[in-house]
Amino acid sequence: MAGKNTAISLSEAGPFSDEQRELARTVRDVVAKRADSAAVRAAAESDAGYDATLWSLLCEQIGVAALAVPEEFDGIGTGYVESHLVLEELARGLVPSPMLGSAVICVQALLATGNDDACGRILPGIAAGETTAALCWSGYEGYWGSDDLEVGAESAGDRWTLTGDTYYVLGGDRADVLLVAAGTDEGPGLFEVDPSAAGVERTATPAMDPTRPLSRVRFSAAPATPLATGAEVLDRVLAIAQVALSGEAVGAADRLLALTVEYTQQRKQFGRAIGSFQALKHRMADLYVLVETARSMSYKAAESLSPVDAATAKAYCAEAFQQVAGEAIQLHGGIAITWEHDAHLYFKRAHGCAQLFGQPREQLHLLEPAAGLT
């Protein structure tokens, strides 16, 4: 999936510092050298679900998993934006990794709890790339909200247990730590669960996107440690997850568009490269505008991390990626739907990205109050 790419890097196009641009360029170079199409497919089919050697390299030499972890917990402490840039670069090559689920979503979930004890125990391992965590939240219907949670929490003295099923857990069948959104008598809460504890059943589940391992995690009176209560914690986590997915959508859409333009310059029909036909030029120009608009929304959301900006970016960027993927399939012709070509993998990632952490139509519904439509 990686290869020669002379297009301007997203980090060079955005309002970033020299250090941030260098970070993005470094990740892009590593992906280009070590995550070509064959490597990505092999990693997705491996027992780990990702290339452990590549992940160790990214963590040890670049520190991608430590970026958003505060220095007091053995991290780099740069904030979220740097993680956003890494997500975009990894998504350009559809590189399977624990970056989204563990190093971004779970790190931010732990920080949102304000629980220094839990952060001190878990974050150093994640920052070093030695520990992976997974967030268990949604039920079978794919609802990510702070009310009507699928897992219920019960307390007996100072002992808590969780019961319920969660689906679409990123890397949940292999994670070393489980963070679980569960309902309590006092409202929604976030709990820590040991995956090896009694009452925890983890199962890898088939997914449309082979580069995004998903799982079901079932809890049957599983012992749990409370980390925080209150809807604001889960609302914060949801917003960051949506922003992160918008970044992935932009990175993958940008790369797929570049691959499509390159193909139309090589494929000939009637003695001419098909990219020279005006009708196709217009289609690709429209896609370029779509991707650049999505990029602006994603960057704005990454800067503010506000729920409204997050929902806006998630909805727009996911739909933009889907449109680019659909057009890329058509512009590539018959080869795009063959297993050997990568276009179908981007197409699958686009649809999977749209479903995770709220479909676009759900985000638009959430934006109605902010727009004064209720």
Termini Cα distance of the chain? 45
Q: What is the pLDDT of residue 276?
A: 62
Against a cut of 0.85, is the pTM above it?
A: yes
Cα separations in angstroms, 121 against 79, 110, 111, 124? 20, 11, 12, 7
* Residue pair 192/141 in contact by the 8 Å Cβ criterion: no
* Residue pair 55/117 in contact by the 8 Å Cβ criterion: no
On average, the pLDDT of the chain sits at 90
Q: What stretches of 243-347 adopt beta strand conformation (E)?
A: 268-269, 272-273
Nearest to 144 by CA among 27, 297, 289, 307: 307
* Residue pair 229/174 in contact by the 8 Å Cβ criterion: no
Tokens read off for 129 = 């790339």
Q: What is the pLDDT of residues 20-37, one digit of tens each?
A: 999 999 999 999 999 999
Give the span between the Cα atoms of 291 and 324, in whole angstroms: 8
Q: What is the pLDDT of residue 261?
A: 87
Q: What is the pLDDT of residues 185-242, one digit of tens each?
A: 889 999 999 999 999 999 999 888 999 999 999 999 999 999 999 999 999 999 999 9
Tokens read off for 328 = 């890329």
Strand partners, 255: none
